[in-house]
Chain A
Amino acid sequence: MVNPLTLTAKEIAQQVSSGSLSALDVVELYLDRIRRLNPKINAFITVAEEQARRAAEEVDKAVKKGFRGRLLGVPIAVKDVISTKGIETTCASKILRGYVPPYDATVVKRLKAEGAIVIGKTNMDEFAMGSSTELSAYGPTRNPWSLDRVTGGSSGGSGAATSARMAPTSLGSDTGGSVRCPASFCGIVGLKPTYGVVSRYGLISYACSLEQIGPMTVDVEDCALLMEVISGRDGFDSTLIDYEFRWSYEGVKGLRIAVPKEFFSEGTDERVLESVWRVIKLLESNGAVYEEVSLPLSRYALAAYYIIAMSEASSNLARYDGIRYGMPYDPSLPWHEAFSKVRGEGFGLEVKRRIILGTFALSAGYYGRYYLKALKLRAMIRDQVLSLLKRFDVIATPTTPFPPFKLGEKIEDPLSLYMADIDTVVANLAGVPAISIPAGLVDGLPVGAQFMANYCREDVLLTVAKCVQDETHFDKLVPGVAKA
């Protein structure tokens, strides 16, 4: 009998390929876990029970005919911001309730082509705007490590589903830390790829110049496997660069680590800092070298990030007007009133807050002072990060300045919630890849260490992660609720 608590995606694919497991068995196993655990955790908005079974049967049939794939029979939990043909995709918003995309996102197409099975759509902050997965029209997701704590966000559903082994792997999206923050809070691995290496076609935009889809996994090699499958040009996303993912693990000997002091200042929880330092020292004991450095412009990263993200969002979210999809408009009103009403009622408070601020930052008289200035600042921050990465292979920081906080704790104060992204947004601004890996537990709650690398050097990040996984066995960390 297989043990879902230790099973990796790679192993599932091997067993389905060899015939020792059927895809349907795997799907039933995880559907059963979802049935038992999801009511407590609320990681899924939609469980694609029927579609997953049908897909598994197709895979099993194909396997008999000789079909092989790198993710044969592997269930994947997909964040509800990624379009899935025939499966409702809501972005955790009332305004998209009932929307069933007539097309698959490129990443979904690629996963399916390798035999993977979409098992469900995971909860998130509405339109990926949030850092706790509390801001969902479908209720908050609870942290499997402590059900009264948040999962982080915005890909909290994917983080919780993977951490509680309701799916062996998942996909999130990361605009300012939305993969890495929940990975950190849920004790798993989360990778935000280099900007422009994973197609965004089908990813419902929040801030298109910043975001990438990324894998969220228990196991580092699974993370690499997903990257291998989902990356590369597709002919639908014109912001993609030439890229081929390659990675082989050869240890961290000689790896140069930059430790920027701004990320280790007093604003960050000391226990988090201790955990991150433990990881850095562990890498050092394996042959890496580190140096404390400075990244002074990081002080402005959060403001620049939010200005750019909100501005783009105000335009990206204009299309939700009730005509073509989603919440219906009120036909008794003229068009502009009908639009205002459906948008006023369909969007949640935080989404509206960001649309209004983004509209402001782009409006006549303020564009230069806010939006354009933020774009220029972004260029300066990128240049500072890249110059650091000329001398170092990776930059190490905490993933978040604090461990998972209590549900409701920061919900009244948007600024304090925005602070959760303070360590992660730099990678999005600079476009560089970044990974969060488990750095241990603080009072029984997971915290993460973040590493950034140069463009297209996801391989270096996976090497760091692999070294830490081999030393600490963080992949064996399972929250209590998931063991039941």
Chain B
Amino acid sequence: MARSELTITPELLDHLSNLAKLKLTEEEKRIFIRDLNRILEYFNVIDEVDTSGVDQVFHILGLTNTMREDEVGGEPLSQEQALSNAASKEEGYIKAPRMV
């Protein structure tokens, strides 16, 4: 495929991997430029269908209005449980990386 025909260019791939917070290796980028454009080409089959006037689906069976009462309950976790899977913690807080 000529580069001019690519939907997902290396620049767009960089943008997407930044949005998705996924650091890709050069090898992965090469594979993705190849695969993703092929897959998109396959996806473009949907262009054949005229969907104008069709409502998008939300719940596929059309379910609406599932709500609960405002009562405390559920499955509360203790601080120990909440932190049990965190790699790094301090005084009950979960430790995250620095912001800047």
Contacts and interface: CB of A to CB of B under 8 A. Distances in A.
A contacts B: CB pair < 8 Å: yes
Interface of A: 98-100, 102-103, 194-196, 209, 235-236, 238-241, 297, 299-300, 303-304, 306-307, 314, 318, 321-326, 328-331, 333-341, 343-345, 347, 349, 352-353, 355-357, 359-360, 363, 370, 372-380, 382, 414-415, 418, 429-431, 455
A356 B20 contact: yes
B87 interface: yes
B1 interface: no
15 contacts: A209-B60, A236-B74, A238-B67, A307-B43, A323-B96, A329-B96, A331-B95, A335-B99, A345-B23, A353-B36, A356-B16, A377-B54, A378-B57, A414-B39, A415-B38
Contacts of A194: 61
Contact of A376 (B56, B75, B96): B56
A356 B22 contact: yes
A374 B46 contact: yes
Interface string B73-100: 0110100011011111000001111111
B32 A356 contact: yes
Contact of B97 (A98, A299, A334, A380): A334
Nearest to A326: B85
Given A103-B75, A328-B88, A352 B60 contact: no
Contacts of A331: 88, 95, 97
A430 B60 contact: yes
Nearest to B38: A415
Contacts of B54: 376-377, 379-380
Nearest to A307: B43
Contact of A353 (B32, B42, B56, B85): B32
For chain B, the bracket of interface size reads 35 or more
A341 B22 CA distance: 7
Interface string B1-44: 00000001000110011111111110010011001101110111
Chain A interface main SS type: helix
Contacts of A374: 46
A360 to B, nearest CB: 6
Contacts of A455: 61
A299 B84 CA distance: 47
A451 to B, nearest CB: 19
A451 B50 CA distance: 29
Given A100-B84, A331-B88, A349-B28, 5 more contacts: A98-B85, A238-B67, A329-B96, A357-B39, A382-B60
Nearest to A339: B21
Contact of A359 (B16, B94, B98): B16
Contact of B85 (A300, A324, A343): A324
A453 to B, nearest CB: 14
Nearest to B48: A300
B51 A377 contact: yes
A376 B55 contact: yes
B45 interface: yes
Nearest to A378: B57
Given A241-B63, A300-B45, A355 B51 contact: no
B24 A344 contact: yes
Which 8 A-B pairs rank lowest in CB-CB distance, beginning with the nearest?
A: A344-B23, A328-B87, A325-B85, A431-B60, A376-B51, A238-B66, A340-B23, A338-B97
A299 B45 contact: yes
A382 B61 CA distance: 9
A300 B56 contact: no
Contacts of B39: 306, 357, 414-415, 418
Contact of B13 (A324, A343, A356, A376): A356
A241 B61 CA distance: 9
Contacts of A360: 8, 12, 16, 36, 40
Contacts of B44: 303
B45 A239 contact: no
Contacts of B67: 238
Contacts of B99: 334-335
B22 A323 contact: no
A296 B22 CA distance: 38
A239 B21 CA distance: 29
B36 to A, nearest CB: 6
B96 A335 contact: yes
A379 B97 contact: no
Considering residues A306, A341, A379, which has the most beta carbons from chain B within 10 angstroms of its beta carbon?
Answer: A379
B98 A334 contact: yes
Contact of A379 (B24, B36, B55, B77): B55
A431 B61 contact: yes
A324 B56 contact: no
A41 to B, nearest CB: 29
B86 A325 contact: yes
B49 interface: yes
A300 B48 CA distance: 9
A343 B23 contact: yes
Contacts of B40: 357, 360
A235 B68 contact: yes
B35 A321 contact: no
A278 B57 CA distance: 37
Contacts of B12: 360
A353 B35 contact: yes
Contact of A100 (B42, B85, B88): B85
